[in-house]
A and B are shown apart, each in its own frame.
Chain A
Amino acid sequence: MANTLFYIIAGIVLGSAFLAVTLRNLFHCALFLALTMFGVSGIFLYLNSEFLAAVQVLIYVGAVTILIIFGIMLTRDVMNDHTRVMNNQVLAGLLVAAAVMFVSYAAVSHSVFQTTDHPTAVAAAVEQAPAAAGRTSDVYALGPVLIRPENGFAFAFEFVSVLLLSALVGAIVVARKDPA
């Protein structure tokens, strides 16, 4: 039963992603993009990443898709809008996409994956926290990894917050009207 549900969610992701790039009305494309994000969040749940599934719904569906819909509604006449789906480069695009898929499949299928058993500080945090709580999710393990300096991600974490601030200020500066 879990397998069929996974295939249903994967089918939702692939189908709505395909529809998000091939529909004529751009607003419909944005709605199918939101459905794709929901499906991807379901796949995250299959990978024992409940925190990332929640973050995906919050940020991608709740913020990014809403931003895209803002952009679409502010710059188009949504009711009569029909965009061209194909141009004269579709065949070249399909060839490149097929080549990328073939190359990545070949690379993945010929590589040897090793499951490592080294107890690093991160692995110890993963083993201790979920086992103590009786759960196998990543909610308890991600916090210490991001904050503690000995894990190496603390600087990047603070820097990403500075990057968010700069993106916010930059978007406001780019999109404001010139004070005339």
Chain B
Amino acid sequence: MGVELMLNSVNINFLAFAKYWNWANLTGSVFVVFVITIAAAEAAVALAIVISIYRQWKSTNVDEVHYLRD
């Protein structure tokens, strides 16, 4: 969820600067389109990973999922 918040703030930044430059180039808007798309794909994969971890460990608390750390 924090990642989604960060990506949204980045989107606002891109659009604000694109408008500040009087839409001289639309690169800001195009980049926002790509960021939204890739964020959606990343959210899907991240939730697939969370569900897979839950099946294995029966818990989503990251403090209990620590086989790699030991």
Contact = CB atoms under 8 A, between A and B. Distances in A.
Interface of A: 17, 20-21, 29-30, 33, 36-37, 40, 43-44, 47-49, 52, 55-56, 59-60, 63-64, 67-68, 70-71, 74-76, 113, 115-118, 120, 122-123, 125-126, 138, 141-142, 145-146, 153, 156, 160, 163-164, 167-168, 170-172, 174-175, 177
Contact of B36 (A17, A59, A145): A59
Contact of B45 (A40, A156, A174): A174
The residue among B8, B27, B45, B51 with the most chain A CB atoms within 10 A of its own CB is B8
B26 A126 contact: yes
Interface of B: 1-2, 4-5, 8, 11-12, 15-27, 29-30, 32-34, 36-45, 47-52, 54-55, 60
Contacts of A17: 5
A154 B1 CA distance: 31
A126 B60 CA distance: 48
B30 A56 contact: no
Contacts of B16: 47
Contacts of B43: 64, 67-68
Q: Which 9 interchain pairs have the tightest Cβ spacing?
A: A167-B41, A171-B48, A175-B48, A75-B54, A71-B47, A174-B48, A47-B15, A64-B43, A171-B44
A122 B26 CA distance: 7
A63 B47 CA distance: 12
A52 B29 contact: yes
29 contacts: A17-B5, A20-B1, A21-B1, A33-B4, A33-B5, A37-B4, A47-B19, A52-B11, A52-B32, A59-B36, A64-B40, A67-B44, A67-B47, A68-B4, A68-B43, A113-B21, A115-B24, A116-B24, A138-B23, A141-B26, A142-B33, A153-B30, A167-B41, A167-B42, A167-B44, A168-B41, A171-B44, A174-B52, A175-B51
B47 A163 contact: no
